[in-house]
Amino acid sequence: MGQATKAARILLALLLAIGMMAPAAVPQRAHAAESGSLTVGRIISYDSYFTNWFEVDGQAAWCGNPSMATPGAGSYPKQALSAASGRTAELAADMWFSYGSPGFDASLWPGSWVDGSAMTPDRYTALAHILMADTYSSDGNYAMFGCSEAFRDWVAWNVLGFDDSGAVSNEGATGRLIASRTGEVPSSFEPFMLYTGASTQVILSFTYSTTVKVAKAASESWAQQDPDYSLAGAVYGIYRSAADAEADSDRVATITTGADGSGESESLGATRDTFYAKEVSPSPGYALDPEVREISPDNDYTFSSEEPPITARIVLKKVDAETGAPAAQGDATLDGAVYQASFERGGETETVEGTTAGGSIVFDDLPLGEVEIREVSPSDGYLPDRKVHRIEVTAEMAQAGDAVIEVSPEGEFGELVQRGGLIIGKGDAERYEHEDGTFWNYAQGDATFEGAEFTLYNRSDAAVWYDGNGDGELQDGEMVDPDGVVAVLSTEYNASLDAWTASTGVRALPYGTYEVVETKAPEGYTGEGIVSHVVEIREDGQFDQLVEADGILNEVVRGGVQVQKNDLELGESEALGGADHSNLADDGYLGTSLEGIGFTITNVSDHGVMVGGTYYPTGSVVAVIETAWNSEAQAYTAQTASDALPYGTYTVAETATNESYLLTDGEPRTFEVRGDGIVVTSDVDGGALLWSDQVVRHDMHLQKKGTVHGEKLGLVPFLITNVTTGEAHVAVTDRNGMLSTSSEWHSREGSANANDALIYEDYIDSEDIVEGSGIWFGTGEHGSQAAPDDSLGALPYGEYTIEEMRCEANEGYALWSDTFNVNRDTTETPMDIDLGTVDDVPEPRIDTVALDKADGDHSIASLGDAVIVDEVLYANMPLEELTARGELVDKATGEPLVVDGEQVVAEKTFAPISPSGTVDVEFEFDASGLAGTDIVVFEEILLEGEVIAEHADILDADQTVAVEAAPEIGTVATDAADGDHIASADGTARIDDQVFYSGLEKGKAYRVEGVLMDPETGEPLDTGDGAIVAETNFVAEGESGFAVVSFELDASSLEGRSTVVFERLYDSEGTLVASHEDLEDEGQTVSFTGPSPEIETTATDGDDGDHEAYADNDVTIVDEVRYENLEPGVEYVMTGTLIDRSSAKPVEENGKPLTAEVRFTPEDADGSVEVVFRFDGTDLAGHTVVAFEELSLDGEVVAEHKDPNDEGQSVSLVEPPSETLDEPSTPAGKLPKTGDSLPLIPIACLAGAALTAACAALMARRPDGPAPEKPHEGEEEGE
């Protein structure tokens, strides 16, 4: 066999040699006339065989036929790779993925050596050598020449993947995995063979050179036709790391692109390493590509770049041409201007538009080259920009390879702001028009429009330039911020407008908003009125004319004037004969007053004035004012309002007086109004504006006589009183009965008012009278006194009373009195006021007797309504219609009697037919609350409203009536059945009313009558048969006691209602003496309710129904609960508790009271229900338990039955009887449990069958003999 094997080997070698001469199956570069330099390295041992390290021209190499001799080092001709087996492409893949090749992939090879130790370069090379030899020859024995059987098996399974028959045995073997990836071998990998001789090995090797290629293109097609853009000249660097690429450090190769954008690096050697490429210099017109690209076998060391061309961004920044700043003036804006940009792109002209925002426009994505920009429409507030702006953008302007070139020409786009101006006119805010002049060219009074100053403020959104010096150049300080002062203008006379104006230049103010504010008013004017205007400059050349009605119209300075009025005699601002500063009443003047005196004000200014809305030229009367009391000045003054008179010069004079004063001083005074709101009180010379007048004065006289004999009554004093002031003096008739106040009768300068000491005397003796004393009234309303003056009348203007005083001469006569008025001065008439002859008559008098109208005595009972009749006796009464008027007075207090909040008064009108007689006055009132009060009647007689006689003696017994206490009763009404205030509404009810009395007369007969009242209606209670009444008669056993009144009624319809008992007490004559009728009195009230629920129970042993149960562990007690008066259809709850009678405590179960509960809804009002108790009674032998029951409705207990001694509720627990139980017979075996019904024999059969099956299964798993060994190859001879 060994010879045969050897022959086979020789034959195979021959075939291999022939195969080397066959054409290669893999496309390869021709190697004609090429040779390779073979280097033979150290031996690599594996199993029991070996190979060598080989290199050809520095690249790894392997022997293709292990059985041949190793060639020597040297140069050998190269031949295209060609496998004798025909598997040339697979052989090339074996070489590509083997150790030493650029495509080596350790994951395709065994993870460990045959003995489990780690793989090494030698072992990878040995396995590659075997794999290539097998692929080359398709003979494993040939490939594993010299190896042991075990090694052959290991290699065949893990590396080759074929069995002895040539079939694939392991798809995961190295050779099979590589064969599936044949297509991954790159085209730059060129395998070849070295033929080293007929007896030496074929050497397999390769050439491999790595370069990087780039294809660059423009992302925009238009850039290809644009001369400003080129793809040529871009430079890329090749690096071993991304970090080196980012830093352009340690560059290993360079690519420079051509015009078409492609380029290739120099060789990187035979490598499969990963490299990184990055553009380091862009081509003209393109931005630097910042991307770092990874270059590896995965992308075949090729990458492309589609790059955008550089574009231009032109930032158009508008500026104000005057200020040069990128900010608009005033209310103008740099936003909103529309600009158009035109340019060439790809041979075509394009145009784009933009609108300024934030003062600028950004034109983006413009191609390189020239761009023309022109303004289409300006922004608000600016004049149009007519200039065409040309901007050139070139690639050289790009910085550091920027993709966008930004151009922002500074100051290129400046625009002039629109400008305007204004003129301001000065005028008067009252807008008068008169032949003298109008409100805008003719100032009031002494005022003027000259010299007004206006401040012009910038109210725009932004600062403005105001060329203050007019030189056309922006100077420091000429920019005015918002709210800043633009200019200060002053009024001058404008002849063309016939007005006073101030103005700016025609184009002085930039487009914006301005406020003209008057900051200095001209003389005679205030800062009030229309003192500001807002002007908006919105057009170029706009010139606003704020003149006439649209001008600055000031309020004129206005003041007032105040004059003071004095009494000439007093020298004070005080009315002589006046009081409380009053002047007029319903009937005219009450007394003197300095009110109502008129003053006339005349305009004597340079110009006319507006007063009260009317224009008054110079010399006109502008106002008439009247005096009145001025509490602030404490004087009589006449004044205008503090803003009545414009700035000017005026005169004021008294021109009218009132009835009580003479016009004494009519001289005018001159004054000036110079301060706003200031009231002038002095004239131009500093003198006070004060006028003094004389009060009207006169005298009076009379003759005094008696009517009985007509004799003259001398030395009769009269009290004369000024009604207004209260000033009073005593004048006395002379011995002829004559009286006069004139100084011609009696001088007053020497002795005046000498008899005033008699004013307070009730009776005057003749000897106390001073004869010849004059009369003088001189008191002012504030108490000042005027000195007596015989040249004037004694009596100042006003109303006076004159009253005869009681004295010796008029005793027995009625005293006379009268009134008179002084209203004309002695200078107007020499005639005194004549009061004529005064005759005395006897005086009226009255007396009274007050009695109870009921019985004619001086006492009444404190029982309700009472009537007192007062008999008035009169004498000396005039035979005219008179009124008797009386009032009741409480004697104890002396104050009027008040009943129910009001005084008790009465009156009666009568006309006597004789001077003497009587008249009755009746007083009706409620005396119920006046017990113990003494009442006195006061009376008076009136004639025409005046009292002519009266009787008011608090101690007069005849005028007094006593109020005595009245009997009283009180009651308590109860249900006769149980004495409470609740009666059952289930049939006939009886109510007992116990009537308590006091204040009765012992032994006297009385009757009590009662009636049941309905408190809801206040009417008598009616159950269908009319009012329910009752009465009882009794004889009082003492002053106090009680009687019972019983009522019987059908209460069946009164459930839920109540009644109140009213009682009245009468004497034997039927007179009501007391009552008690109070609907709110609870003591008199009885309520009616339905019958209450009731229950009773019977507890029994649940086993036999008696009252005895065994005390075992299962006790049942049934408690039958019978109920009455329940409401059908309503749910009730019956709750039972078992009570141990011996302890009186609940029976417990599990530590809690033993209870039972039943919920039920009765169909009828009466019935029964069972409550069942179940419990362990083993510990209760000898005890008696009692069932307590409670009936509840809506959580409220409405009935209960809890009687521990109730035998019907009780059950006794006794010891159960002892018993001997028979032992039950025990069966021979246990009965089958549920489910144990299977017969024993079938179970045994089933168990046997299961055991047999188990044995059979075990026997089936037992091998019959040794397992067959895996086929393997025999050992072959080594090399």
Reported as a single tens digit per residue, the pLDDT across 511-541 is 999 999 999 999 999 988 888 999 999 999 9
Output 297 or 673, whichever has higher pLDDT: 673
Which residue is listed with tokens 């008598």? Answer: 1020
| 671: number of Cβ within 10 Å | 24
Q: Which of 494-503, 681-690, 1129-1138, 1262-1271 has the lowest mean pLDDT?
A: 1262-1271
Which residue is listed with tokens 């009255």? Answer: 846
Query: Under a CB-based contact definition with an 8 Å cutoff, are residues 1055 and 1090 in contact?
Result: yes
* 46 has a pLDDT exceeding 90: yes
- Segment 1039-1052 shows an average pLDDT of 90
Residue 441 pLDDT: 82
* 437 has a pLDDT exceeding 90: no
Nearest to 140 by CA among 118, 112, 169: 169
Quote the tokens at residue 949: 């006689």
- Segment 30-49 shows an average pLDDT of 86
What single letter denotes the amino acid at residue 223? Answer: A
- Segment 79-101 shows an average pLDDT of 94
Nearest to 810 by CA among 752, 769, 857: 769
Residue 646 pLDDT: 97
* 1267 has a pLDDT exceeding 50: no
Cα distance between residue 323 and residue 382, in whole Å: 13
Residue 29 pLDDT: 52
Cα distance between residue 268 and residue 911, in whole Å: 158
* All domains of the chain in start order, with CATH: 2-208 (no CATH), 213-307 (2.60.40.10), 311-415 (2.60.40.10), 419-556 (2.60.40), 593-693 (2.60.40), 697-840 (2.60.40.10), 845-964 (2.60.40.3930), 968-1089 (2.60.40.3930), 1094-1214 (2.60.40.3930)
- Segment 1076-1082 shows an average pLDDT of 89
Query: Under a CB-based contact definition with an 8 Å cutoff, are residues 202 and 65 in contact?
Result: yes
Q: How far is CA 1168 from CA 124, 1106, 1127, 1156, in A?
A: 109, 18, 13, 16
What single letter denotes the amino acid at residue 770? Answer: V
Angle at which helix 121-137 crosses helix 88-96, to 10 degrees, equals 170
Q: Which of 388-402, 602-616, 652-666, 1117-1131 has the lowest mean pLDDT?
A: 388-402
Residue 668 pLDDT: 96
Residue 13 pLDDT: 42
- Segment 759-783 shows an average pLDDT of 92
Cα distance between residue 1051 and residue 370, in whole Å: 121
Query: Under a CB-based contact definition with an 8 Å cutoff, are residues 470 and 478 in contact?
Result: no
Residue 588 pLDDT: 52
Residue 1133 pLDDT: 95
Residue 51 pLDDT: 94
Residue 1220 pLDDT: 44
Cα distance between residue 745 and residue 732, in whole Å: 12
Cα distance between residue 82 and residue 85, in whole Å: 9
Output 401 or 238, whichever has higher pLDDT: 238
Residue 271 pLDDT: 81
Task: Give this prediction's pTM.
Answer: 0.44
Residue 1088 pLDDT: 82
Cα distance between residue 278 and residue 234, in whole Å: 11
Dihedral of CA atoms 1068, 1069, 1074, 1075 in degrees, nearest 10, equals 90
Query: Under a CB-based contact definition with an 8 Å cutoff, are residues 360 and 379 in contact?
Result: no
Residue 1193 pLDDT: 92
Residue 669 pLDDT: 95
Cα distance between residue 618 and residue 609, in whole Å: 8
Summarize pLDDT for 620-676 with one digit per residue, the tens.
Answer: 999 999 999 999 999 999 999 999 999 999 999 999 999 899 998 989 999 999 999
pLDDT band at 1249 (very low <50, low <70, confident <90, very high): very low
Residue 1242 pLDDT: 35
Quote the tokens at residue 143: 């490939």
Summarize pLDDT for 553-610 with one digit per residue, the tens.
Answer: 989 999 999 999 999 999 999 999 988 887 554 455 568 999 999 999 999 999 999 9
Q: Which of 106-110, 403-407, 1022-1026 has the lowest mean pLDDT?
A: 403-407
- Segment 432-439 shows an average pLDDT of 80
- Segment 161-166 shows an average pLDDT of 90
* 711 has a pLDDT exceeding 80: no
Query: Under a CB-based contact definition with an 8 Å cutoff, are residues 941 and 948 in contact?
Result: yes
* 1218 has a pLDDT exceeding 80: no
Residue/partner pairs of 8-17 with CB below 8 Å, 24 or more apart: 9/67, 9/142, 9/145, 12/137, 12/139, 12/142, 13/65, 13/67, 13/68, 15/84, 15/137, 16/64, 16/65, 16/84, 16/136, 16/137, 16/202, 17/198
- 3-state secondary structure string, 657-678? CCCCECCCCCCCEEEEECCCCC
Residues 6 or more apart whose Cβ sits within 8 Å of residue 415: 318, 319, 320, 321, 334, 337, 375, 378, 379, 382, 383, 384, 385
Residue 1259 pLDDT: 34
Residue 706 pLDDT: 67
Q: Which of 205-219, 712-726, 836-850, 1084-1098 has the lowest mean pLDDT?
A: 836-850
pLDDT band at 705 (very low <50, low <70, confident <90, very high): confident
Cα distance between residue 1275 and residue 1272, in whole Å: 9
Q: What is the mean pLDDT of the chain?
A: 87
**Which neighbouring-strand residues pair with 846?**
874
Q: Which of 23-27, 955-959, 1000-1004 has the lowest mean pLDDT?
A: 23-27
Give the whole-number percent of the chain exceeding pLDDT 70.
91
pLDDT band at 786 (very low <50, low <70, confident <90, very high): very high
Residue 396 pLDDT: 82
Residue 63 pLDDT: 93
